[in-house]
Structure 1
Amino acid sequence: MTSTDPAAVSEPTVEDLEREGDVAADFLEGLLDIADIDGDLDLDVRQGRAYVSVESEDASLRAVSDPDTVQALQELTRLAVQNQTGRFSRLILDVGGSRDVRRQQLEKLVDAAVAKLDEGASQASLPSMSSYERKLVHDIAADRDLVSESYGEASQRHTVLRRA
């Protein structure tokens, strides 16, 4: 039996990640068919993760491109991949450019935190978010010469920013 504990599983190979992408694509095609939504799927492997993006000129894709909806679809897709492969999946799903939209939202959150720091605060806490979003915040903070650290457990994990 294969363990699904992320700490107990070795790093996936490129072939493993490509298989994750294929399984995810099959699952997502089924969901899109059920919802009668047209979309083109693109698979990639980046930074040790399978990336699956869904794009379409069809306006119906917008119904599922809200970042919160994409996060939920990503979790369902990860579970489907895990069920098929027996391995924990860290795949990233992007629907209609939702990841770019979410990055812009996170940049605005960091900018608001910078404003608090400019007003004299010693640190600024951001809301709880997923590990992927926290990673983006850490990258954005580093680009702005800020120090960022994550605190809390599970769904309460959040990022705190301060000046370097």
Structure 2
Amino acid sequence: MRQVTATGQTVEDAIQSALRQLNITEDQATVEVIDEGKKGLLGLFGSKPAIVKVIKQEDPVEKLEKYITNIIAEFDINIEIETRVDQNQVTIDLSGEKIAVLIGKRGQTLNAIQYLAQLAMQQYADKYYAVIVDAEGYRERRRETLISLAEKKADRAIKIGKPVKIDPMPSYERKVIHTALQHRDDLTTDSQGNEPNRYVVILPK
């Protein structure tokens, strides 16, 4: 966290001076007025400059990158991180030779990292961001697998005439299941249970 104490003839002059030194805009800063100053007689005699302390707010995405970097450091592997921000979605792509370690069985380790990252981002940012943590295209491959799984489970539900439950998965994966089957008029889908063990149930009509 960087901060600058600056002076000026007015509070606004002092603030602008500090912002220039930090090379930031006012919406990226926290301003503390130390002394509002004093104009003095005829604007000359007995005047005192205004004094402010301006603190640069750390970007929430940068904080999130550091947080994930610290998590990955516990695995003792070299991983590269690439971050993309699209409106209210932050996508973090991980890549490296031992990426399978971070993915885990059925993506469980990657999902755990994403879950923690989402919680962290809620603390860092003053608005909502959806956080996606991917690893060398794993999410897309997983999406294709989930679509295939959804169709197989749906066919089974219709065949046996009973609800079929799918193993617990994160909300965005459940959404893939719901979306994949929403065109079917012979069944409905529902999410049941409590996080993080919430699951999809396929119910024949």
Q: TM-score, normalised by structure 1?
A: 0.68
Structure (1 or 2) with the greater helix fraction: 1
User: Could you tell me which residue of structure 2 aligns to residue 149 of structure 1?
Assistant: 190
Aligned residue identity for 2:146: L
User: The residue matched to 1:154 in structure 2 has which SS?
Assistant: coil
1:37 corresponds to which of 53, 78, 89:
78
**2:102 matches 1:64:** yes
Aligned residue identity for 2:115: E
Task: Compute the displacement of 1:163 (Å).
Answer: 5.1
The answer on whether the counterparts of 1:147 and 1:161 sit within 8 Å (CA) in structure 2 is: yes
User: Could you tell me which residue of structure 2 aligns to residue 137 of structure 1?
Assistant: 177
The answer on whether the counterparts of 1:42 and 1:52 sit within 8 Å (CA) in structure 2 is: yes
1:110 corresponds to which of 116, 137, 150:
150
User: Unaligned stretches of 5+ in structure 1?
Assistant: 1-18
1:129-150 residue CA offsets vs partner (Å, 9 max, x unmatched): 2211111111111255653222
Task: Compute the displacement of 1:88 (Å).
Answer: 6.5
User: Could you tell me which residue of structure 1 aligns to residue 116 of structure 2?
Assistant: 76
Structure (1 or 2) with the greater strand fraction: 2
Task: Compute the displacement of 1:159 (Å).
Answer: 1.4
Structure with the bigger RCO (C-alpha within 8 Å, sep 6+) is 1
- Per the alignment, do residues 24 and 109 of structure 1 end up closer, same or farther by CA in structure 2, a change over 3 Å counting? same
Task: Compute the displacement of 1:100 (Å).
Answer: 1.9
1:28-85 residue CA offsets vs partner (Å, 9 max, x unmatched): 2344456341314131326x4322222x3x3122321231110111122223333433
User: The residue matched to 1:155 in structure 2 has which SS?
Assistant: coil
Aligned residue identity for 1:59: E
The answer on whether the counterparts of 1:141 and 1:161 sit within 8 Å (CA) in structure 2 is: no
What fraction of aligned residue pairs are identical, expressed as a percent? 21
The answer on whether the counterparts of 1:151 and 1:159 sit within 8 Å (CA) in structure 2 is: yes
User: The residue matched to 1:119 in structure 2 has which SS?
Assistant: helix
User: Could you tell me which residue of structure 2 aligns to residue 5 of structure 1?
Assistant: none
Over 6 Å off, 4+ runs? none
Alpha-carbon distance in structure 2 between the residues aligned to 1:143 and 1:21: 37
User: Could you tell me which residue of structure 2 aligns to residue 15 of structure 1?
Assistant: none
